[in-house]
Structure 1
């Protein structure tokens, strides 16, 4: 049966369309294409239609196709080889060392996330961010301002000063060029301070300029002067402009972790203030000592007349602010001495509460001898365009101290102590880890007719002050103390420090031995070690001795040192990124482990209180 004419026409049109779509058609001659290949082409065409791929993606794919290896590739063979090398590095398994370094980064990152920003609660709530540093009326002399960058860098290099920050004020090598008043210069000269130390050479110009600052220098390097003199000058300037009356002040605050250190700084400021007032051209500055264990009624006269400077411990200062005895409406200067120790000792929350009383910007300074990178990064959250002034490595021991380490059995330590006292003439400072050991050593020395006094946190404020005073005045030869006397206290004449036992953290060791060898003088530090010491702290001690070119005893050299395998690893830190110890990594950090245990204990206590029905 023949097909209809209409059917034939439709078939012809269909063939024509198929021929037009045929990629193998050349003019009127059509190549043979297998059925399987034809079906595949039709499927691909339909897929492109339904997917509706954007033109940009097609162009990108075309470019990608063009970069394939081949004679028509647009990418050079070198670039292709590098790309393949990267792919291989990503695909090959990581070494144990790489895994360990990544683990350390994760630990540090996880700990950093648990720390809230160190700033005022009001500023955090309102999202207030300060972008410019505080302005002051102080400017360096023209000859200092005109110094070339090469000359500035040469001075810093000669004084071993390392700085971080932008637009850092130039270093100044004399107090006179810092434009301090003549009565103050004469007072410093009478005290034997004729020229600034490295931390003062750079730290004083930074503080006088109103810049936020982190100051790091070894113990006994003159950090106290670097933050007290600028505050005294600021207070004098404010009092000259408009005298303070009741309810006003302070202009600035210095917050420290211990009562003894607070009283020492207070006495330094009183000395500066009195020498200026005696000259007659400068007003009387009124500092206030705000610490536990003393009656504030004794300083009621200062409060009535208006306070210029407050030197305080965090707990008592917080109490004074909450009771509205003082306010921070006029406060422009805030300094934390031994800042890292304050945070480690559990004052972090008190510090935040104190900062919440600020309603405006202030100049913030943090000083310490031991400030690991982790604490620096945390501290920078409260600072505006901070300048980091570092004299030597943070946490390094003073090079003016001769460090002697001796292996002494636990039962023989108290007897051997008498032999060690013969090494130098008095005064001698003995450190012990706990209060009971301090009391035992003190009683033993009294039995042996040694003129001694003792100090620890269990004694009253009057007893602590008596011991410090008698020791400083030379009426007693030996002071036995816990670490309460290791942070910041200045005993200028001490020749010998004895560590009856090795502290649990290397930072405490650095602070302890820093009580001698101060202000350029040489001192001796003797440390007892034995099997009771942890291996981590002994490794830290070993590396600290090697860094200071001190003799390392065989017992320390015999220790298996895990840090050796990191020395040749590119990019690996050669110190603990958490505490700065040289003999261990963050994964074995005793300080981090201790803080974790404290946190777990606090959580457990909170849960137990909650389980009992909220009876706090």
Structure 2
């Protein structure tokens, strides 16, 4: 479906065309008309399906329709991380370029001037606020936030927010909001805790489900079974065997991310690491370099597994096996964005074999085990313990706290 056919404001359609969006994705086609009807929505869609625009476009359109001179906060978007807040604010800026709709990202980690800038926007009224729970509560507690006429609340990456322990913060923020409002909940997965949250917040919601817990079909997946001391040589081999423009390598710890990046830099590769030891300014600088193609390789912890919109990534490497299948899907979802194809490799050591089997059970099929390069040497045999005797079934294990 073309965006012109949805009934959006013509100035908003100009912004959509300028960005280069041509036709709606599945989640946009299903969600936008429902949101435009002022209904509450609970939607699940995997990474890379265009869900950010699925809620931003109708929210912007609603603000344009109201066309009120009385400045107040029209919509509040709550997200789990600073990076996602910045990304959504940037997309908001692009979509609303030809309109007068304003937005601001509100998140911790900045200096006093950024807090004052946020305070000014929140007290004078900005159309759309995109913020992390902790920073939003800090402002709300001070009593100057113009939230009493809020029209719409959006919870994005709701499952990740609950995993990070933000349930009570979310409910506290909601206690400040007007009772009559539209509520939109977007989540990559739909476990029971999300449905419990939805029951507390949403009113007779429309449910939209797009390919939950399955990676994009365009992603070519393979795994290498290795000993720990073979991981760095294998990474070096894969990254030097073919010229790649854009690669993300996910590590489970800051220590392994730093160690691997150090070895890649020694090889003369354009690589940097990104993790929670970097402050916000440093992280934004590294991300900007990566997005602008000044940097080819990003070695990251799970700080990037969701919510970072970087297109045309050639390769994703799971240097360590993710904690569970949902994390695996989000990690490899960094590649094959939009209509592109992508490749995802996973390194499996002896201790990680059972965990990877659980991921294969969630996927419903085994991932191809590639032969190690001769320079790396033969790895251990892949012999995980079966978690059940019925083949590859969806895993029902609980997520581990990290």
Same fold per TM (> 0.5)? yes
Whole-angstrom distance in 1 between the partners of 2:7 and 2:178: 31
Corresponding residue for residue 414 of structure 1: 232
Pick from 197, 200, 208 the counterpart of residue 389 of structure 1.
208
SS of the aligned residue for 1:484 comes to: helix
Match of 2:375 in 1: none
Tell me the equivalent position of 1:62: none
2:277 & 2:169 partners in 1: Cα distance?
A: 22
List alignment gaps of at least 5 residues for structure 1. Answer: 1-172, 277-283, 568-573, 576-581, 599-616
Q: Does 1:260 align with 2:83?
A: yes
Greater relative contact order (CA < 8 Å, ≥ 6 in sequence): 2
Instruction: Report the CA distance between 1:250 and its aligned residue.
Output: 1.0
SS in structure 1 at match of 2:136: helix
CA distance in 2, matches of 1:254, 1:264: 12
- Of 267, 275, 288, the residue aligned with 1:456 is 275
Cα distance in 2, alignment partners of residues 512 and 529 from structure 1? 15
Counterpart secondary structure, 1:390: strand
Q: How does 1:126-165 map to 2 (within 5 A)?
A: none
What is the CA deviation profile of residues 397-429 of structure 1, one whole-angstrom value per residue up to 9, with x for unaligned ones?
Answer: 121211111112111111211112235612101
What CA distance in whole angstroms lies between the structure 2 residues aligned with 1:204 and 1:557? Answer: 46
Which runs of 5 or more structure 2 residues have no equivalent in the other structure?
A: 372-379
User: Contact 2:223–2:367 (CA<8 Å) still a contact in 1?
Assistant: no
Aligned pair in 2 of structure 1 residues 271, 449: CA closer, same or farther (>3 Å)?
Answer: same
How many Å separate the matches in 1 of 2:235 and 2:368?
21
Assess if the C-alpha contact under 8 Å between 2:124 and 2:146 holds in 1: no
**Rg comparison, structure with higher value:** 1
**Corresponding residue for residue 243 of structure 1:** 69
Q: Give, in angstroms, the shift of residue 561 of structure 1.
A: 3.0
CA contact (8 A) 1:255 1:312 kept: yes
Count the aligned residue pairs: 390
Whether 2:80 is the aligned partner of 1:290: answer no
Q: Within 5 Å, which residues of 2 pair with 1:556-571? A: 558-565=383-390
- Cα separation, 1, equivalents of 2:288 and 2:177: 36
Find out whether 1:403 has 2:221 as its counterpart: yes
Residues 259, 313 of structure 1: 8 Å contact kept = yes
**Contact 2:41–2:183 under 8 Å retained in 1:** yes
Question: Matched residues in 1 for 2:381 and 2:291: separation?
Answer: 35
Query: Which of 4, 11, 30 is the aligned partner of 1:183?
Result: 11
CA distance in structure 1 between the partners assigned to 2:314 and 2:233 by the alignment: 21
Q: State whether residues 539 and 556 of structure 1, in contact with CA within 8 Å, keep that contact through their aligned partners in structure 2.
A: no
Deviation track 1:97-122 (CA, whole Å, cap 9, x = no partner) reads xxxxxxxxxxxxxxxxxxxxxxxxxx
Contact between 2:123 and 2:146, CA under 8 Å: does it hold in 1?
no
Name the CA shift for 1:293/1:374 in 2 (closer, same or farther; >3 Å). closer
**Aligned partner of residue 65 in structure 2, secondary structure:** helix
TM superposition score normalised by structure 1: 0.60
In the alignment, the residues of structure 2 paired with residue 180 and residue 385 of structure 1 have an alpha-carbon distance, to the nearest angstrom, of 24
The CA deviation at 1:545 is 4.5
2:179 is the counterpart of 1:360? yes
Residue in 1 aligned with 2:374?
Answer: none
Aligned to 1:202: 30
Q: Give the C-alpha shift of residue 544 in structure 1.
A: 4.1
Instruction: Trace 1:269-348 onto structure 2 (pairs within 5 A).
Output: 269-276=92-99, 284-294=100-110, 295-299=114-118, 302-303=121-122, 305-348=124-167
Deviation at 1:491, TM superposition (A): 0.7
Q: Secondary structure at the match of 2:3?
A: coil
Is contact 1:538-1:556 (8 Å) kept? Answer: no
* Post-superposition offset of 1:508: 1.1
Q: Of Structure 1 and Structure 2, which has the larger fraction of its residues in helix?
A: 1
Per-residue CA shift, 1:10-31, capped at 9, x if unaligned?
xxxxxxxxxxxxxxxxxxxxxx
| Structure 1 residues 593-612: Cα deviation after superposition (integer angstroms, max 9, x where no partner) | x45xx9xxxxxxxxxxxxxx
In 2: Cα distance, 1:424 partner to 1:387 partner: 46
Larger strand percent: 2
Q: TM-score, normalised by structure 2?
A: 0.90
SS in structure 2 opposite 1:275?
coil
Out of 360-369 and 454-463, give the one that drifted further.
Answer: 360-369
Residues 311, 335 of structure 2: 8 Å contact kept: yes
C-alpha distance after superposition, 1:58-101 (max 9, x if no partner): xxxxxxxxxxxxxxxxxxxxxxxxxxxxxxxxxxxxxxxxxxxx
The alpha-carbon deviation at position 552 of structure 1 amounts to 5.8
Inter-partner Cα distance in structure 2 for 1:360 and 1:334:
11
Distance of aligned partners of 1:361 and 1:348 in 2 relative to their CA distance in 1, 3 Å threshold: same
Tell me the distance in 1 between the aligned counterparts of 2:264 and 2:331: 20
SS of the residue aligned with 1:307?
Answer: coil
2:368 pairs, out of 530, 551, 570, with 551
Alpha-carbon distance, 1:269 to partner: 0.9
| CA apart distance, 1:273 | 2.4
| CA distance 1:418–1:552, change in 2 (3 Å) | closer
Q: Distance in 2 between matches of 1:321 and 1:300?
A: 10
Say yes or no: does 1:538 pair with 2:356: yes
**What is the CA–CA distance in structure 1 between the aligned matches of 2:218 and 2:46, rounded to whole Å?**
10
Is 1:498 aligned to residue 317 of structure 2? Answer: yes
